[in-house]
């Protein structure tokens, strides 16, 4: 955390301040800045491959927070997973592979497609097990295509 004597600089006409309200769009900006020429050398050096261990570690930390019923830590660790997703999205965008919006579009389409009982006219399952079976059946048909 910067103390009062450390000056914050404007980036893209804006001062980014810890503790101020932030949203997903600002978070996407922050990661883009970190990966830019003026950003952080470590963040700039990361690749899909180099981030694999980070993603594994963060996933294990999420699972530990759940096991420990530690809601505060769970929130922090889910943020670290989101960081991993956004870093991969930024790397993907830089490489012309995909963007964060592509990820959002793809997962939204998947949720709609795999829930025909909610977003379509298919009969609603009566139990969680029936819902899971429906999910698996839709997924199986997707894989056949």
Interval 19-44: pLDDT, tens: 999 999 999 999 999 999 999 999 99
Model pTM? Answer: 0.88
Query: Does 3 fall in a domain?
Result: no
Check residue 46 and give its pLDDT.
98
pLDDT of res. 5: 46
At residue 3, the pLDDT reads 60
Is pLDDT at 138 greater than 80 in this prediction?
yes
Residue 94, in any domain of the structure: yes
Look at residue 131 and tell me if it is in a domain: no
Task: Look up residue 126 and give its DSSP letter.
Answer: S
Question: How many domains are there within the chain?
Answer: 1
Least Cα distance to 43 among 78, 9, 86, 76 occurs for: 86
**pLDDT, tens only, 48-100:** 999 999 999 999 999 999 999 999 999 999 999 999 999 999 999 999 999 99
Residue 56 within a domain: yes
Distance CA 78, CA 86 (A): 12
Nearest Cα to Cα of residue 52 among 102, 88, 4, 17: 88
Confidence of residue 7 (pLDDT cuts 50, 70, 90): confident
Exposure class string for 43-75: b at 16+ Cβ within 10 A, else e: eeebeeeebeeebeebeebbeebeeeeeeeebe
Range of the domain at 51: 24-99
Kindly report which listed range (2-6, 86-90, 130-134) carries the lowest average pLDDT score: 2-6
Kindly report the CATH number assigned to the domain that includes residue 38. Answer: 1.10.287.1080
Q: Would residue 120 count as lying in a domain?
A: no
Tell me, what's the pLDDT at 44?
Answer: 97
Please, are residues 78 and 96 in contact by the beta-carbon 8 Å criterion?
Answer: no
Residue 11 included in any domain: no
Partners of residue 11 on adjacent β-strands: 14
- Assess whether pLDDT exceeds 70 at residue 121: yes
Q: Note the pLDDT of residue 13.
A: 87
DSSP 1-70: ---TTSPPPPBTTB---TTS---HHHHHHHHHHHTSTTS-HHHHH--TTTTHHHHHHHHHHHHHHHHTT-
Eight-class DSSP state of 125: P
């Amino acid at each position: 955390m910067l103390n009062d004597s450390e000056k914050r600089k404007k980036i893209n006409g804006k001062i980014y301040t810890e503790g101020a309200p932030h949203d997903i769009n600002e978070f996407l900006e922050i990661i883009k800045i970190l990966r830019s020429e003026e950003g952080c050398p470590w963040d700039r050096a990361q690749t899909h491959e180099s981030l694999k261990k980070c993603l594994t570690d963060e996933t294990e930390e999420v699972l530990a927070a759940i096991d420990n019923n530690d809601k505060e830590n769970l929130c922090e660790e889910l943020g670290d997973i989101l960081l991993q997703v956004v870093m991969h999205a930024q790397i993907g965008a830089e490489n012309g592979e995909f963007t964060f919006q592509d990820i959002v579009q793809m997962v939204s389409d998947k949720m709609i497609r795999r829930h025909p009982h909610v977003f379509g006219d298919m009969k609603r399952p009566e139990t969680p097990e029936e819902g899971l079976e429906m999910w698996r059946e839709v997924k199986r048909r997707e894989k056949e295509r």
